[in-house]
Every structure is written in C-alpha cells, then in structure tokens.
C-alpha cells in the first residue's frame, strides 16, 4: 500500500531532478560559451560535442514518437523476397545515376574521386550483404544491408549538399562563423534524425533481427 502511495511522489522527484539537471547543464553551457566569447577553437569543439550528445538523446526519442504514430510493421516473406530482387538489380542503376550527378554538379576533381570511391564501397558492401541475405534467407543481413545503404546514401547526400552550398549560395561563406556552424549543425541534426528513423523502420520491417546472435527463428 505504501509503495503505491509513494510512487507518484517518486516520479515527481525524478522529474524535478531531471529538469534541474538539464537546466543546470544549459546554464553551465552558456556560461562557458560566454567566457569563450562564442568564438575560437575551444568554443566550436564544445559546440560540436554538445550537439552530438544532444542528438543522441533527442533524435532516438523523436524517431520513436514518429514510429508510434505510423506503426511500422514487419513485411511478409513474399514481399521481402521481391524486394531482394528489385534492390539487387537496381543497385548498379542507382550507382550510375549518382555518379552522373556527382560528375555533373561537382567541379573539383579531388571531391569527385573521394565521393566516387566512397559510394563504390557503399554499393559494393550493400550488394554483398544483400546477396548473402537472399541466399541464406537471413533477416539480420537484410536489416544490416538496408540500413547500411540508406544511412550511407543520406550521408552521401549530406556531403554533396555541403560541397554545393557555396556554389549555389556564394554569400553563405560571408556569414559569421557561428551562423555557418549552426547551419551545418542543423543539417547534421536532420541527417542523424533520419538515420535514427531508418534504424527503427528497418528493425521493424525485417522482424527485429539480432545482429550478434543469429537465431534460426529470426530467419525469413
């Protein structure tokens, strides 16, 4: 009986402690940032690290809320087998399209080489993992291949966007460093949120596969 009476009080105490901790961290961050005058190497190091820590907490939470609204479900076996065929046949086609856009939009030869090699490695890895998943009917490898390709493609698009921004918006480089950094952090937040959502989506779609322990009952 006492446990039930004290439970709401415990929850209120936890909520207050959590609020106090977050409030203290935010105030402390602004104090440190103001002492650094919101500029300099140390400030930007703190900005990047604190942004990454914030993303690791906020993005998974938002992704779970989105999933609870749309209710991702596991695909049936026949649909996934058809998906295998489509993705394996379309991997080279997608690569060719992306290589065309890279060669067309980017003028820097070094950037073309780096992005070309990166995406060649990505598509090659995807093809190997997906082909193995199809042959062995492994849900865990389907999950890994799909998430690897989708997360890699979004990261690839993020890199291209950063390279093309100065070309389409030349005045952006004239902005103060704090605004430019905030813009990059905002784009990176969208990237991290999309990857968190993709992780949950593929996890649900392929039947919650376990990457470390491959159980037969997890196979399709």
Q: Per-residue pLDDT tens for 147-174?
A: 998 888 888 888 877 777 777 777 777 7
DSSP codes joined into one string, 73-92? -PPPHHHHHHHHHHHHHHHH
Count how many residues are written for the chain. Answer: 220
What whole-number distance in Å separates Cα of residue 59 and Cα of residue 188?
11
What whole-number distance in Å separates Cα of residue 167 and Cα of residue 105?
10
pTM: 0.74
What whole-number distance in Å separates Cα of residue 44 and Cα of residue 173?
17
Q: Per-residue pLDDT tens for 184-209?
A: 888 888 889 999 999 999 998 987 65
* Contact criterion met (CB below 8 Å) for 193 and 126: no
pLDDT of residue 216 exceeding 70, the answer is: no
Q: Per-residue pLDDT tens for 69-98?
A: 888 888 888 999 899 998 888 877 877 777
What whole-number distance in Å separates Cα of residue 208 and Cα of residue 187?
29
Q: Per-residue pLDDT tens for 16-63?
A: 677 677 767 778 877 887 877 777 788 888 888 888 888 888 888 889
Find the largest Cα–Cα distance for the chain.
73
């Amino acid at each position: 009986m006492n446990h039930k009476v004290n439970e709401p009080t415990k929850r209120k105490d936890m909520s207050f402690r959590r609020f106090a901790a977050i409030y203290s961290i935010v105030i402390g961050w602004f104090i440190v940032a103001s002492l650094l005058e919101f500029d300099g190497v140390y400030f930007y190091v703190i900005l990047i690290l604190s942004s990454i820590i914030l993303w690791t907490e906020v993005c998974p939470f938002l992704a779970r809320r989105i999933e609870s609204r749309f209710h991702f479900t596991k695909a049936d076996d026949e649909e996934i087998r058809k998906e295998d065929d489509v993705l394996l046949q379309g991997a080279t086609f997608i690569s060719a399209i992306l290589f065309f856009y890279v060669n067309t939009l980017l003028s820097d030869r070094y950037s073309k080489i780096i992005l070309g090699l990166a995406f060649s490695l990505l598509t090659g890895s995807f093809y190997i993992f997906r082909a193995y998943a199809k042959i062995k009917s492994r849900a865990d490898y389907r999950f890994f291949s799909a998430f690897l390709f989708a997360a890699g493609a979004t990261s690839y698009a993020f890199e291209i966007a950063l390279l093309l921004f100065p070309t389409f918006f030349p005045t952006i480089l004239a902005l103060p460093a704090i605004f430019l950094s905030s813009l990059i952090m905002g784009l990176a937040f969208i990237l991290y949120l999309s990857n968190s959502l993709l992780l949950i989506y593929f996890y649900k779609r392929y039947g919650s596969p376990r990457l470390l322990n491959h159980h037969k009952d997890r196979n399709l």
